[in-house]
Amino acid sequence: MATRAAASSDLEAIMALERAAFPTDAWSAAMMREELASPHGWYVVVEEAGRLVGYAGLRAVRGARDADVQTITISESARGHGRGRALLGELLGEGVRRGVHDVFLEVRADNPVAQALYLSEGFVEVGRRPRYYQPDDVDAIVMQLDLRGWAVRRHEAASPSAPTAPEGPRAAAPAATTSATPIGKVWC
Ligand SMILES: CC(C)(COP(=O)(O)OP(=O)(O)OC[C@H]1O[C@@H](n2cnc3c(N)ncnc32)[C@H](O)[C@@H]1OP(=O)(O)O)[C@@H](O)C(=O)NCCC(=O)NCCS
């Protein structure tokens, strides 16, 4: 599995996946181009046999303690093999490098697969935005991750000699998570 930083030349391939994955509320090419060029954005792609099969983006303003997962998509034929988790790991790793403490995202209430991915990495639900996704009239689930806790777990998982973190719903996830109210366009 090869991942690399996204380039503006990836726009067309990314938009083909974006339109296939989000048939009713895909981003426009102009919006995606802006995201790929943004100084606050960090986009990564995954390729298979030289073909772009997935992309993901983080918004992390330099020096800010909060960041947002903007989007993550794997082509249908390439799902279920760990690529989504790998791209999410890349975004969170960049967040750690930028000194981020908390990562936020919104996910459709009718998207159990993505919710399972986020929960399995330690995201917790901190709110709901009724009818956020239009035109489908679907609620958004707002999720938050304590990134420093995630980094500790990742470190422990990478160094088998270190004592393992307690199992179950990512115990390190902080309880006091209701304070943050992420504002933004229709992400993820
Ligand atoms: C969500 C998405 C990115 C996951 O990518 P993926 O490469 O299939 O995911 P992975 O193979 O890395 O699986 C990671 C976890 O996701 C969950 N998951 C993946 N496929 C699943 C399925 N068919 N059913 C239930 N859970 C599933 C599991 O928790 C899985 O962990 P596990 O393999 O340890 O069980 C992909 O389904 C996708 O692109 N969907 C369309 C776009 C979208 O909804 N993006 C997210 C918007 S918020």
State the average pLDDT over residues 25-39: 96
Q: Which CATH number fits domain 2-158: 3.40.630.40, 3.20.20.70, 3.40.630.30, 1.10.10.10?
A: 3.40.630.30
Going by alpha carbons, the residue nearest to atom 24 of ligand 1 is 113
80 Cα–ligand 1 center, Å: 6
Atom of ligand 1 lying closest to residue 73 CA: 39
- DSSP code, position 78: G
State the average pLDDT over residues 18-24: 96
63 Cα–ligand 1 center, Å: 30
pLDDT for res 1:
81
pLDDT at 177 over 50: no
- What is the C-alpha separation between 58 and 29, in angstroms, rounded? 17
| Residue list, ligand 1 pocket, CB within 6 Å | 21, 72-74, 79-85, 107, 111, 113-114, 116-117, 120, 188
Domain ranges of the chain: 2-158
Residue 11 pLDDT grade (very low, low, confident, very high; cuts 50, 70, 90): very high
- What is the C-alpha separation between 25 and 32, in angstroms, rounded? 13
85 Cα–ligand 1 center, Å: 7
pLDDT digits (tens, 9 = 90+) for 105-125: 999 999 999 999 999 999 999
pLDDT at 173 over 80: no
Would you say 47 and 4 are in contact if contact means Cβ atoms under 8 Å apart? yes
State the average pLDDT over residues 13-42: 96
pLDDT for res 65:
98
pLDDT at 166 over 90: no
Going by alpha carbons, the residue nearest to atom 21 of ligand 1 is 113
81 Cα–ligand 1 center, Å: 9
For 119, residues 6+ apart whose C-beta sits below 8 A from its C-beta are 169
- Of all residues in the chain, the percent with pLDDT exceeding 70 is 85
Residue 132 pLDDT grade (very low, low, confident, very high; cuts 50, 70, 90): very high
DSSP states along 96-150: HHTT--EEEEEEETT-HHHHHHHHHTT-EEEEEEEEEETTTTEEEEEEEEEHHHH
Residue 162 pLDDT grade (very low, low, confident, very high; cuts 50, 70, 90): low
Going by alpha carbons, the residue nearest to atom 27 of ligand 1 is 113
- Ligand 1 pocket test: pick from 76, 113, 170 the residue with the most ligand atoms within 8 Å of its Cβ: 113
Nearest to 63 by CA among 39, 86, 79: 39
Atom of ligand 1 lying closest to residue 75 CA: 39
